[in-house]
Amino acid sequence: MDWNSLGTFFNFGVNHVLHGLDHLLFASALVLSLRSFWEVFKVIGVFTVAHSLSVSLSVIRGAPPLPSWFVEPCIAASIVFVCLENIFLPGYAISTRRLAVAFLFGLIHGLGFAGALLETLAGMSGPIKVWAVVLFCIGVEVGHLCVVAPLSGALKIGRDQGGEGFHTAVLKYGSILIGLGGVFFLLGALGLLGKGS
């Protein structure tokens, strides 16, 4: 791997997110409850910082600090947790608690990202490895923005046209749908799907 090949890590980050429906469901669950660009920036920014930290820590260690059998169910459970908060505690959407939730689960999601990244870093060292991690993390954020930005825009238009009724309905029913996706991923991560005769 040389300097000219580093761009592949940016593409890898983008593609990893766009093909990782569990990560996109989590980010979408966070965004459903937010009402302004500044709120989205804060919550998604905290999520970004957290998963970038855990990716970097995992690369420094040479392995994620927690095993995948623990991380994958936690990622799925994070989707369900945020959706339940959206439904039953909608007032927490822009609270310090929600920022803490985004940070904590961001650390867990970062361990999932790191598992995929570490396989591609074999044999790399020094500045090239650092830049590979940086470009991967930037790619992850671009992937998130490909979903979060249009979703935020569509929700703003809907709120402008439909008011509080629209926001309440989308938050409730959108969270139910996303939460069902989270349950599906959780059952899969726990090995409880596909066990028919």
Q: How far is CA 167 from CA 23, 78, 155, 161, in A?
A: 23, 22, 8, 10
Question: Quick check: pTM over 0.75?
Answer: yes
Does pLDDT of 92 surpass 90?
A: no
pLDDT of residue 2: 59
Does pLDDT of 36 surpass 90?
A: no
> What is the C-alpha separation between 63 and 149, in angstroms, rounded?
32
User: What's the pLDDT tens digit per position in 138-186?
Assistant: 999 999 999 999 999 999 999 999 999 999 999 999 999 999 999 999 9
pLDDT of residue 195: 53
Q: Where do the structural domains in the chain lie, given as residue ranges?
A: 3-189
> What is the C-alpha separation between 41 and 82, in angstroms, rounded?
17
> What is the C-alpha separation between 111 and 59, in angstroms, rounded?
10
Nearest-5° Cα angle at 76, 71 to 79: 130
Higher pLDDT, residue 197 or 2 = 2
pLDDT of residue 122: 79
pLDDT of residue 1: 54
